[in-house]
Amino acid sequence: MPWEDDARCLRHDPELFFASRARAERRAKSICNGCPVKLECLAYALESRIQYGIWGGMNVTERRSLLRRSAGAPDGRRQLAAATA
């Protein structure tokens, strides 16, 4: 995916984004907040139904909730647009 090269998470330990501790999750989300490809990352996670880790600043529970709220949208980018509108 071309957007991956610009992701801020590449400069950090990948384990941080898959840790189960709340402190690690908060740290991972803070890294995502300033990422220039945050939306692309989140759309990828939604489209792929990724079940683990922090993607686009959201954990799996938050992504599932987002998917439920936008159930009529056919792909991740539309789901993201519908849910954040």
In a domain, 20, yes or no: yes
Average pLDDT over residues 68-78: 66
Average pLDDT over residues 33-55: 95
Average pLDDT over residues 10-37: 95
In a domain, 84, yes or no: no
Number of structural domains (the chain) is: 1
Q: Are 17 and 28 in contact (CB under 8 A)?
A: yes
Question: Which of 60, 58, 82 has its CA nearest to residue 69?
Answer: 82
The pLDDT score that the predictor gives to residue 73 is 59
Average pLDDT over residues 48-62: 96
pTM comes to 0.81
Beta bridge partners of 58: 55
Is the model's pLDDT at 75 over the cut of 90? no
In a domain, 81, yes or no: no
> Which residues span the domain enclosing 42?
2-73
Q: What is the separation of C-alpha 25 from the centre of its chain, rounded to a whole number of angstroms?
A: 12
In a domain, 79, yes or no: no
User: pLDDT class for 83, splitting at 50, 70, 90?
Assistant: low
Cα(73)–Cα(19) distance, rounded to whole angstroms?
A: 30
In a domain, 82, yes or no: no
